[in-house]
Chains A and B, each alone.
Chain A
Amino acid sequence: MFYRENGQFKTSYAADQAIFPILLDRIAIMAILLVAFLVVPLVATQYVYTGILIPFLILALATIGLNLLTGYCGQVSLGTGAFMAVGAYAAYNLVLRLPGMNLLVAFALAGGISALVGVLFGLPSLRIKGFYLAVATLAAQFFIDWVFIRIKWFTNYATNATAPELLLFGLPLDSAMRRYLVTLAIVVVMALIAKNLVRGATGRAWMAVRDMDIAAEIIGIRLLRTKLIAFAVSSFYCGVAGALWGFMHLGAWEPLTFDVNRSFQVLFMVIIGGVGSILGSFLGAAFIFAVPILINQVPAALGVPISTALSSHLEAMIFGAMIIFFLIVEPHGFARLWQLGKEKLRLWPLPH
């Protein structure tokens, strides 16, 4: 009733192509950003930062990364964990071997290295598609797992990689709140960039390749180049997410942190959130993150505490059911449900 675009007339193409063309969306986004940057630091506890917000933001970033590749360019990948690992270990080695490097520069370079690896494993995408490409990226996952377990140089001859003391422009990131704010800023900027890419020429080329590659070629899109750009950008995002996961969330990690389970987790976030939607990436990450917490907290709050074993079984069952539900009923996930809701709201309460 209140949320509608009726009466919001655009008089220029610039206004029509704005990132949030609807006034209420703009207000909502500003409100969310204000809460995230100003209100949360006032009220959040240590647990909220380290247990919920920081990992949620980082996984949302990885989900955006995979969504660019799978949702927009149509190239299924099961190598997300591997590209995150490359980012994490690249940032680790950069900081370790080039002391004094600015943390943001290290993250950006780690993303860049991850992008190069992504391009390398994206090369087969010229010849193979769909299921077979997924298997090829799975091979990348296992290969990179092996590299970080077996080649000790990458982990500096230790089992665990440990992030150094984090300094950003001389400011120590020693509290969870500071790490949260840095992570939030990085994720917000990168989400904005992703949104710009997908609504520009690059995004249209990706979607063209996804929807019909033959027709894409006919209008002058070079398939391999377009797919490799998608692999590069996607892996960049995953690499930065991996570096953040290591540095901002865990502090110390072993190669198994980024194993194939991580890849599947991010893929589920894409499917449940919405294939081909930046908003959906956040929704999917939030959902997969919220369910285990709710299963732990809600029964206890209701006075029927359940065992951890039961709660983890429940978690697996709910995820499984949700994924099947979304694949059958709504392949475009929460984002699509949100969009349908908006379309209904346009006419509510007087549908014609």
Chain B
Amino acid sequence: MTDKPRISEEVLLKVDSISLSFGGVRALSDVSFDIRKGEIRAIIGPNGAGKSSMLNCINGFYHPQEGRITYKGRERQRMLPYEAARQSIARTFQNIALFKGMSTLDNIMTGRLLKMRRGLFWQALRVGPAAREEIEHRAKVEEIIEFLQIQAVRKMPVGRLPYGLQKRVELGRALAAEPDLLLLDEPMAGMNVEEKEDMCRFILDVNEQFGTTIALIEHDMGVVMDLSDRVVVLEYGRKIADGTPDEVRADQRVIDAYLGVQRVE
């Protein structure tokens, strides 16, 4: 998996010595790494290492006190989540954040809200351009529904779906925005082996078919090593390793972080 031709050297997102703290708790200190266009980049580390905080910084939930984030060649100032969405960054959450009262179809349709242009008056009348727009987006959403194989639950309220399917719908909603950068926060948490395999397949397909750059957090080491092109390892808010899966696996500090260090008295 290491030398796929589709990965360019072009850097999509660069994180430069980010530090983030909440009061006295330092969640991230001096973390730097980059995400290249077209790659699958994994962020791993033990619990509390600051992985989710890292994603939250990237999509504007948290504002790091120090450091710079450069996205698409432009250094960005404080940015709110909806602005990140406007710049084509989509994400999923560790504990599913779907709109429970809405159907699968409507949930994924919300992913396309930013692409819908017709104003309130056209929507109110729902004739001509507004009706056509609705159908165009429906067609796009149906492509995603087919891609994720959730046709059967299209009209069901997502609150009634099993966990694994909800995860898929959430991925679908993120994909509906046709993002340039897709952030996945533990896409396989709590799944059985079969569901994990399905999800891996979807992630690889998204990356290959749509050329979407993906940054993902995952705990399952097997999955991480198989999926990702490069891995960054965090521990206690610091970066301890960065490189291809093979390099990272061989890194002594990573082994220590995951297996513990034997202290010789």
Tell me the residues in window 196-244 of chain A with beta carbons closer than 8 Å to chain B beta carbons.
196-197, 200-202, 204-205, 207-208, 210-212, 214-223, 229, 233
CB of A201 within 8 A of CB of B85, answer no
CB of B126 within 8 A of CB of A200, answer yes
Residues of A within 8 A of B59 (CB): 218
Task: Say yes or no: A229-B138 contact (C-beta < 8 A), given A204-B102, A218-B59.
Answer: no
Task: Say yes or no: A276-B97 contact (C-beta < 8 A), given A13-B138, A196-B125, A219-B110.
Answer: no
Partner of A221, one of B113, B120, B126: B113
Q: Which residue of B lies closest to A218 (CB)?
A: B81
Tell me the residues in window 77-91 of chain B with beta carbons closer than 8 Å to chain A beta carbons.
80-82, 84-86, 90-91
Residues of B within 8 A of A217 (CB): 80-82, 85
Please tell me the number of chain B residues within 8 Å of chain A, measured between CB atoms: 39
CB of A219 within 8 A of CB of B173, answer yes
Interface flags for B46-86 (1: CB within 8 Å of A; 0: not) read: 00000000000001000000000000000000001110111
User: Please, how many angstroms separate the alpha-carbon atoms of A216 and B173 in the complex?
Assistant: 11
CB of A207 within 8 A of CB of B113, answer no
Partner of B124, one of A193, A207, A208: A193
- CB of B187 within 8 A of chain A? no
CB of B116 within 8 A of CB of A201, answer yes
User: Please, how many angstroms separate the alpha-carbon atoms of A243 and B45 in the complex?
Assistant: 62
- CB of A14 within 8 A of chain B? yes
Q: Which residue of A lies closest to B111 (CB)?
A: A219
CB of A196 within 8 A of CB of B120, answer no
Partner of A201, one of B98, B123, B131: B123
- Nearest chain B CB to A25 CB, angstrom units: 15
- Nearest chain B CB to A20 CB, angstrom units: 13
- CB of B101 within 8 A of chain A? yes
- Nearest chain B CB to A201 CB, angstrom units: 5
User: Please, how many angstroms separate the alpha-carbon atoms of A200 and B111 in the complex?
Assistant: 13
Partner of B109, one of A204, A210, A222, A223: A204
CB of A13 within 8 A of CB of B139, answer yes
Residues of A within 8 A of B100 (CB): 211-212
Partner of B120, one of A17, A202, A211, A216: A202
Task: Say yes or no: A219-B177 contact (C-beta < 8 A), given A212-B97, A214-B97.
Answer: yes
Partner of B101, one of A16, A211, A219: A211
User: Please, how many angstroms separate the alpha-carbon atoms of A2 and B116 in the complex?
Assistant: 39
CB of A229 within 8 A of CB of B120, answer yes
Please tell me the number of chain A residues within 8 Å of chain B, measured between CB atoms: 30
- Nearest chain B CB to A70 CB, angstrom units: 13
Residues of A within 8 A of B123 (CB): 196-197, 200-202
Interface flags for B93-104 (1: CB within 8 Å of A; 0: not) read: 100011111100
Task: Say yes or no: A200-B113 contact (C-beta < 8 A), given A13-B135, A211-B102, A220-B86.
Answer: no
User: Please, how many angstroms separate the alpha-carbon atoms of A223 and B82 in the complex?
Assistant: 9
Tell me the residues in window 170-193 of chain B with beta carbons closer than 8 Å to chain A beta carbons.
173-174, 177
Dominant secondary structure at the A interface? helix
CB of B91 within 8 A of CB of A218, answer yes
- Nearest chain B CB to A16 CB, angstrom units: 8
User: Please, how many angstroms separate the alpha-carbon atoms of A203 and B200 in the complex?
Assistant: 33
User: Please, how many angstroms separate the alpha-carbon atoms of A222 and B91 in the complex?
Assistant: 16
Residues of B within 8 A of A197 (CB): 120, 123-124
Residues of A within 8 A of B116 (CB): 201
User: Please, how many angstroms separate the alpha-carbon atoms of A276 and B157 in the complex?
Assistant: 14
User: Please, how many angstroms separate the alpha-carbon atoms of A220 and B98 in the complex?
Assistant: 14
Q: In this complex, which of B86, B102, B131 has the most chain A Cβ atoms within 10 angstroms of its Cβ? A: B102
User: Please, how many angstroms separate the alpha-carbon atoms of A303 and B14 in the complex?
Assistant: 84
User: Please, how many angstroms separate the alpha-carbon atoms of A16 and B100 in the complex?
Assistant: 22
Residues of B within 8 A of A229 (CB): 120
CB of A222 within 8 A of CB of B82, answer yes
- Nearest chain B CB to A237 CB, angstrom units: 12
Task: Say yes or no: A196-B126 contact (C-beta < 8 A), given A205-B110, A215-B93.
Answer: yes
Q: Which residue of B lies closest to A190 (CB)?
A: B124
Q: In this complex, which of B91, B111, B124, B177 has the most chain A Cβ atoms within 10 angstroms of its Cβ? A: B124
User: Please, how many angstroms separate the alpha-carbon atoms of A212 and B123 in the complex?
Assistant: 23
- CB of B242 within 8 A of chain A? no
CB of A14 within 8 A of CB of B135, answer yes
Q: Which residue of A lies closest to B91 (CB)?
A: A218
- Nearest chain A CB to B6 CB, angstrom units: 26
Residues of A within 8 A of B109 (CB): 204
- CB of B106 within 8 A of chain A? yes
- CB of B26 within 8 A of chain A? no
Chain A interface (Cβ < 8 Å from any Cβ of B): 13-14, 16-17, 193, 196-197, 200-202, 204-205, 207-208, 210-212, 214-223, 229, 233, 276
Chain B interface (Cβ < 8 Å from any Cβ of A): 59, 80-82, 84-86, 90-91, 93, 97-102, 106, 109-111, 113-114, 116, 118, 120, 123-126, 130-131, 134-135, 138-139, 142, 173-174, 177
30 contacts between A and B (CB under 8 A): A13-B139, A13-B142, A14-B135, A16-B138, A197-B120, A200-B130, A201-B123, A202-B123, A204-B106, A204-B109, A204-B113, A207-B101, A208-B110, A211-B98, A211-B101, A212-B97, A212-B99, A215-B98, A218-B59, A219-B90, A219-B110, A219-B113, A219-B174, A219-B177, A220-B82, A220-B85, A220-B113, A223-B82, A233-B120, A276-B101
Contacts A202-B120, A216-B110, A222-B82 known; 11 new A-B pairs at CB < 8 A: A200-B123, A201-B118, A205-B110, A207-B99, A208-B102, A208-B110, A210-B99, A211-B98, A217-B80, A217-B85, A220-B114
In the A-B complex, list the 9 residue pairs whose CB atoms are closest, starting with the nearest. A220-B85, A211-B99, A215-B97, A200-B123, A196-B126, A220-B114, A13-B138, A201-B116, A193-B124
